[in-house]
Amino acid sequence: MAKPVVIEDVKTFLVQTAGPGTRFIIVKVITSEPGLYGLGCATFTQRFRAVYAAIEHHVKPFVIGKDVSRIEELFQMNLVNGYWRNGPVLNNAISGIDEALWDIKGKMANMPVYDLLGGKTREAAAVYAHADGRDPQEVLDNVRKFQEQGYHYIRVQMGGYGGKQDTMHRPEGALPGAYFDPRAYTRNMLRMIEYVRSHVGDEVELLHDVHERLSPIDTVKFAKDLEPYNLFFLEDSLAPEDIEWFRHIRKVCATPLAMGELFNNPREWRLLIEERLIDFIRMHVSQMGGITAARNAAIHAQIYGIRTAWHGPGDTSPVGHAANLHLDLWAPNFGIQEWCRFDNLVYDMFPGLPVVRNGYMYPNDRPGLGIDFDENLASKYPPKDEVDWWTQTRLPDGSPARP
């Protein structure tokens, strides 16, 4: 019997390519086979040092010496080895290993990961881009720019998450924070979406992200009011703590719903899938535990006619975007893929990063995930310890709010 290839070492890299929110965690699993390694994404940008410590001090010692071919077993054992489970820090640490093992298995088989999953069901993945603006006209202008680049699916926001208001009725002594007014937000977004739709017609697929910033009852009304504008989907309209309220949205309107970027535990998406309360699952693949966890969720969702729309912002690393793409190309129930449009520095740092042409993301057909990592270049961009501002959200009276 041939000697198994085992994990010989695990290296964890922290890199910040631009401003806050782009602190990547890249995991490199080195094997006993000379020159054979795999890359994984463990990016939890707001708590990157906690994930780094979890990998270095807990996950790494556990996986050293393990057989790289036993991905499923190692995923299951990693999940319970710390006893407490399904939290974002440990899930991301597990994901870094899991994605790297899929990368390794593909290289050993000389096959792309999508072939290991069962093969392609499409040649490329349709993506959506983000059009923001200070007012409806600027949003429309940016939508048209994306149309000129070939995008058919475009997310429309105005003033960022929660919108921005010039004036806000605050009490004296209100503490600093990222203030927003939920009621003004819904009024302004409805006007903006109506304006954009009236100018671009029905051929462009429009999306919008609430980012869980509304109370449940305001969310129900907002989703109902949006129905005439025929969104492709309304994203994260409720917080994970309020998912039972999706039943009420379903009763009053047919606005398509996407949910999941903050989910960690399968029980969070299980309810929504099995009761058909949403139309798209859009979990953050590293936060749910990696390719193995995402594959299982996609198969589960497919049984119930629910499509995938994996989280793909700027704080998903390029390795994570590559993992998303392989899942997209394989999944029979693929819906859409979020795309953040990295700059040239990131493409130099991550050779093989997927490219988008005319609104579609294409693979490069290399074995494994098809992406590499320039460690020397990355070492010039260490992460900075910063307190995130945008998550310090407050309502007009100063009360803390969900971001």
* Residues with a known catalytic role: 161, 211
User: Residue 132 class from Cβ within 10 Å (0-12 exposed, 13-18 middle, 19+ buried)?
Assistant: middle
Q: How far is C-alpha 130 from the geometric centre of its chain's CA atoms?
A: 14
CB 153 within 8 A of CB 127: yes
- Report which of 233, 239, 198 is spatially closest to residue 218, judged by C-alpha positions: 239
Cα three-residue angle 208-267-253, rounded to 5 degrees: 35
- 343 contacts: CB under 8 Å, gap ≥ 6: 17, 18
Q: Which of these, 194, 180, 209, lies nearest to 140 by C-alpha position? A: 194
- Chain-centre distance for alpha carbon 18: 18
139 Cβ neighbours under 8 A, 6+ residues apart: 131, 132, 133, 156, 157, 158, 192, 195, 196
Contacts of 400 (CB under 8 A, 6+ apart): 177, 393, 394
* 8 A C-beta contact, residue 30 and residue 392: no
Distance, in Å, from the CA atom of 42 to the CA atom of 169, rounded to the nearest integer, reads 41
The HSE-up count of residue 152 (CA atoms within 13 Å, CB side) is: 11
- The torsion angles phi and psi of 9, rounded to 5 degrees, stand at -160, 160
| Residues 255, 278: Cα–Cα separation, whole Å | 10
Q: CA–CA separation, 106 vs 152, rounded Å?
A: 32
Indicate if the alpha-carbon torsion angle 346, 347, 351, 352 is positive or negative.
positive
Partners of 368 in the β-ladder: 112
Residue with the two structure tokens 């995008």: 151
